[in-house]
Structure 1
Amino acid sequence: MTELHTQIEATAWALFERHRDGTAPLTLKAGSFVGQVAVCPEWPLSDRQRAWFGKLIDRAGLPPISEGDA
């Protein structure tokens, strides 16, 4: 796994931590999506998925993944 994939995976798990501690709750749909990203970060994300993942990251107050990385 590349460093980028490791960063994507770590960010997905951080989103789950924010959900669990109540600081950034996820909907069922968002949680399912983040779970897919967490367990298979090497799958490429579409532009729409990258935008959604970025919004979830931003809402959770996490640092963004560099543009074009996801």
Structure 2
Amino acid sequence: MSVLPTEKALELERLEKIATEKRIAYEKLDNELFAKNASQDIALLPEYTKAKRELTQAVNDYNTFRFSLSVAYNI
């Protein structure tokens, strides 16, 4: 198993942090809209859709970068 160069490790950490932040934001909206005793505020739907799209993109970015590292550095 190879050790990642510092800049690659930092980029992986940055992408993971972004994905985590997007997940937290999405879950907050999801709970506001769909949990028991949830708000029935339909105005939140565009924000919810945007948060879901951003979460999906952040996870895809992380997974793509992680895969490229696994190929390049055999991790």
TM above 0.5, yes or no, is no
Question: Which range, TM-score by smaller chain?
Answer: 0.3 to 0.5
Bigger radius of gyration? 2
TM-score normalised by the chain length of structure 2? 0.41
Q: Which has the higher contact order (CA 8 A, sep 6+)?
A: 2
TM-score by length of 1: 0.43
